[in-house]
Amino acid sequence: MISKKLLINNVKNISRNFIFFMVAGLVIYSCSGTVDDMARLQELKKQRDNLDKEIRVIEQKITAEGKAIDPPSKVPAVVGQKMEPELFSHFIEVRGNVESDNNIFVPALRPYVVKRILVNEGDQVKKGQLLAELDNESITQTIKEIKNGLELTTTLFERQKNLWEKKIGTEVQYLQAKSSMEDLQIKLKNAENELEKTKIYSPIDGIVDLVDIKEGEAAAPNTGAIRVSNLSSQKVKAKVAENFITDVKKGDRIKVYLPTINLHLDSKITAASQIIDPNNRTFDIEVKLPDDDRINPNMLAILTINDYADPNAFVLPINALQKSESRTYIYVAQKNGDHWITQLRDVETGRYNNDKVEITSGLNSGDVVITFGFNNASVGDPVDVSFTKL
Going residue by residue through the chain (390 aa), what tens digit of pLDDT does each one get? 444 445 445 545 555 554 555 544 544 545 455 557 888 888 888 888 888 888 888 877 877 776 666 655 678 899 999 999 999 998 999 999 998 767 788 999 888 999 999 999 888 899 999 999 999 999 999 999 999 999 999 999 998 888 888 888 888 888 998 999 999 999 999 999 999 999 999 988 888 888 999 999 988 888 888 988 776 678 999 999 999 999 899 999 999 999 999 999 999 999 999 999 999 999 999 999 987 878 877 899 999 998 888 999 999 999 999 998 889 999 999 998 888 999 999 999 999 988 999 999 999 999 999 999 988 888 989 999 988 644
Give pLDDT, residue 70: 60
Radius of gyration of the chain (CA): 42
Residues 6+ apart with CB under 8 A from 87: 309, 310, 311, 313
What one-character-per-residue DSSP string does 66-127 give? Answer: T--SSPPPPPPEEEEEE---EEEEEEEEEEEEEEETTEEEEEESS-PBEEEE---TT-EE-T
**Cα(152)–Cα(155) distance, integer angstroms:** 5
CA–CA distance, 35 with 89 (Å, rounded to integer): 76
Integer distance in angstroms from the first to the last C-alpha of the chain?
A: 50
pTM for this one? 0.45
Q: Are 183 and 157 in contact (CB under 8 A)?
A: no
Is residue 83 left, alpha or beta, with left meaning phi > 0 and alpha meaning psi from -120 to 50?
Answer: beta
- CATH number of the 77-87+310-386 domain: 2.40.420.20
Q: Where exactly are the structural domains of the chain?
A: 4-64, 77-87+310-386
Quote the pLDDT of residue 27: 46
- How remote is the C-alpha of 42 from its chain's centroid? 66
Q: How far is CA 12 from the centre of its chain?
A: 60
Give the count of beta carbons closer than 10 Å to the beta carbon of residue 94: 19
Cβ-contact 155, 163 below 8 angstroms: no
Q: Given its phi and psi angles, is residue 337 left (phi above 0), alpha (psi -120 to 50 degrees) or beta?
A: left
Asked if 290 contacts 310 with a C-beta cutoff of 8 angstroms, the reply is no
User: Would you give the distance in Å from CA 295 to the centre of its chain?
Assistant: 33
Phi and psi at residue 236, in whole multiples of 5°? -105, 130
CA 155 to chain centre: 55
69-83 as b/e: b if 16+ CB within 10 A? eeeeeeebebbbbeb
Query: Residues 198, 133: contact at Cβ < 8 Å?
Result: yes
Q: Are 369 and 316 in contact (CB under 8 A)?
A: yes
Tell me if 358 sits within 8 A of 351, measured CB to CB: yes
The region, left, alpha or beta by phi > 0 then psi within -120 to 50, assigned to residue 288 is beta
Provide the pLDDT for residue 26.
47
